[in-house]
Every structure is written in structure tokens, then in C-alpha cells.
Chain A
Amino acid sequence: MSGLRYLDNVVTLQLDAAKCTGCGMCATVCPHAVLALEDRRARIVRRDACIECGACARNCPVAALSVKAGVGCASAIIHGWLTGSEPSCDCQGSC
């Protein structure tokens, strides 16, 4: 999706290129084409489009990716602030 962009320079996505084996799984699962395979190595090509869903990190067989995955609901974040816990989304159906 091209028209809609969120905030810049905020996401927690990290790639340890030295570990990468170039399997391409991260590029497959990413819903926003943040990662791409170049010269048989993964590369972050659209960092600011990342939504921190965690799909890439979860599916990397060699743990070359890390991201602080979480919930983007404002009310969940407030609840997290108040209780000191991680935000969790308990909405049913569409989050």
C-alpha cells in the first residue's frame, strides 16, 4: 500500500545480517514488503513501513531478526501504562 504511511524512525526492527542464511522466509511473511532478499541476504528496504507484527522474527530459522512485537490499540497501551504490564489486546473479532 503506497498512500498510507505512519510515523518515521520509530520501529524496533533489527536485522543481524551476519547470521542470515538467505532463506527468504522473512520477506515472504512480511505484510508490508519491509524486507527483501538482495545478493542472497535479507535487507531492510522499507523500515518505516514496519508494523512490528513480529512475523519475520518468529519465522527466521536462525534468529537473525528481532522486533518488539506488540499491540497497537491506544486503550491497551494506556492499560499497560497504568498496570505496568505489557499491552494486551482483548478485543474479539476485528482488532
Chain B
Amino acid sequence: MYGTLPTPAGAVPRLAAGLTMVDRLGHWQMRWGFGRMRYRVRPGLYAVGEPQAASPVLVTANYKMTVDLLRRELAATNAWLLVLDTRGVNVWCAAGKGTFGTAEIIRQVTACRLAELVGHRTLVLPQLGAPGVAAHEVLKGCGFRVIYGPVRAADLPAFLAAGMQATPAMRRVTFTLGERLVLTPVELTAMWKSLGWGSLLLLLIGGIGPRFFTVEAALQRGPAAIAAGLAGVLAGAVVVPVLLPWLPGRMFAVKGAVAGLAVALAGTTLYGARLGGIDSAALLLALPAVAAWCAMNFTGATTFTSPSGVEREMRRTLPVQAAALLAAGTLWIAGAFLP
């Protein structure tokens, strides 16, 4: 990558310390969902700084964002970096799928002839890789002992300096405001397609009226409904993540419904006179339902929800969401036929 380091097991490419403007631009693009598929690093062994036989071996995924993060945090460290082939997926997701896993570690350790390079027999893995890796099987498979390092790359230098000891805080996953905020662009961009189709549908339904279907009605009633839908999406996908700890309820759907209802109440207060009774009622039903759905979809990106819990929440709240949407749609269409 940026020069090589000659070793007994062949030349090992060296990673540059620190990030460039190009790296930062790439990260920004990734967060907004452009070209997410191609952001990967070639798997294999890399040198960080001037590693020697006694230097630690850190194992990671070949998602470029992850490797860049390590490069930044390890700017003052000498280490070997063993990059697994996770098909460009980050450690946590790849561990869930098993691509960041026991077999791939054994394969890379053997392929890179790691045993000839280092004097010790220890691999440092990110703790979040543990769902995919059985430490005792790695030892059996290639003779290297697995030590789970901290959850966050930023804690690596301190962890290494302490003789590979993690403090309890280093082992705990957090979900701070900043961590929640970086996720919202991805949540929103993932919805672009459904937003487009939803808007089209609302335009079509908006045109329905006493004269069967008119373009004037579609252009008059449609945009207002689209605006309401967008408000629901923003309430569920932005307001809920940001205000997560302070919104009432444990279920995400409940938090979303509360946020949506607050936005809908603000809407009817401001525009109630222009909307009229029936459309206001439709708004009060539809907006919380849309927000609840979007908020529920955020569970996949959080760090403290269990799949069993998400499934329970879906079984309990999806029927309510669907009923509210249906009632809102019926009211809205019926409103077109009333004087």
C-alpha cells in the first residue's frame, strides 16, 4: 500500500499512519450510502509502523472504514495487522454472519505464514468479533491464542500499554448521541426508494374524488400528504434516535408513535384550520404510524436490542400501525367526497 517491509515470510505491505482528505471524503460518502459495496481493503497481513517479531498481531475486517480507523488510532504503535476477508463488511456484522470467523482466521494465519514472522503465539481480536469466533477452536486450528481486545479501536493503545488488559469500560458497548447521529443518514438514505413509491401512491390517491380522478386534486392534495409522510419519517428516523433515552416507552414503536404524535399535534395546531376536521384526524393517525414503523426499523442499528425483543415488539405493534394507516387513508379519501 505505502511501501513494504521485508520479512522472513516475504515483503509485507505497510499502511500509512493517519488519514488524508481522500479518506475523509470516502467516509462521508459511506455514511450517506454512496458506493457502500466497494469500500474494501485487500485481505492479508499489513505492517503498522515498524513491527518486529515481538510486536502484537491485531486482527480486523477488510471494511476500509474499519482499517482507516485503526490506522488513525495506531499512529504511534508498531503492530501487525491481519485483515480478514469479510467482503467489505464491518467486524460486528461480519461476526454475526460468520465471515469474521474461526475458519477465516485460521486460513489467513496459515496463508500469511504468521508463525514464521512473530515470536509469540497471540492474536488480538476486537471484542465485537467474538460472536463469530470460538477462541478455543482458533487455538486448536492454528496454535494461536485469541485475546479479545477492547470494543473501540480508540482504546487499543491503552489496552496494549496495560499488557493486554481491558478495563470493564473498554468491554462495554455504548450508544452515545454521537454514535446515534452518525447512523441517521444511512437510515434515511436506505429509505429513498420506499419514499419515492410512497409519494407516487399518495399523489395517485390524492387525485381520487367526486369526479373519479383529477390531476388538479392530485396536485392539490398529494403534496400535503407527502409532506405529512416525510414528517413521519423524520420523526421516526431522526427525532427518535436523537431523543432515544428521553422518549417514553421501551418499545421503539412506542417511542416513534410518541414522537410522531407530537409532530402531528404541532401540525394540526399550525394548519388545523386549513386542513379541516377529517384531514386533521387522518394526520393524527397516519403520522404516528409512519414514525412508529421507521423507529422500529432503527432497532437493527442500535446496540442494545435483542432479536427476540424486536420480534415481540413487531408482533404486538404492527397490527396497530397497519390499522392506524388504513383508518387514516379511509378518512383522507372519504374527506375528498365531502363538501
A-side residues, CB < 8 A to B, are: 1, 3-8, 10-12, 25, 28-33, 49-55, 58-59, 61, 68-78, 87-89, 91-95
Contacts and interface: CB of A to CB of B under 8 A. Distances in A.
Interface string B296-339: 11011111111111111110000000000000000000000000
Report whether over half of chain A's contact residues are helix, strand or loop; otherwise say mixed.
Answer: loop
Nearest to B139: A61
B171 interface: yes
B89 interface: yes
Given A74-B314, A93-B36, A28 B308 contact: no
B310 A77 contact: yes
Interface of B: 30, 36-37, 39, 63, 65, 88-90, 92-93, 95-97, 127-128, 130-136, 148, 151, 168, 171-175, 183, 186, 190, 244-245, 250-251, 296-297, 299-314
Contacts, number: 152
B312 A54 contact: no
Given A10-B312, A33-B171, A91-B300, A53 B131 contact: yes
A13 to B, nearest CB: 9
A6 B93 CA distance: 20
B37, B88, B304 — which one has the most chain A CB atoms within 10 A of its CB? Answer: B304
A8 B249 CA distance: 12
Given A70-B307, A77-B307, A32 B89 contact: no
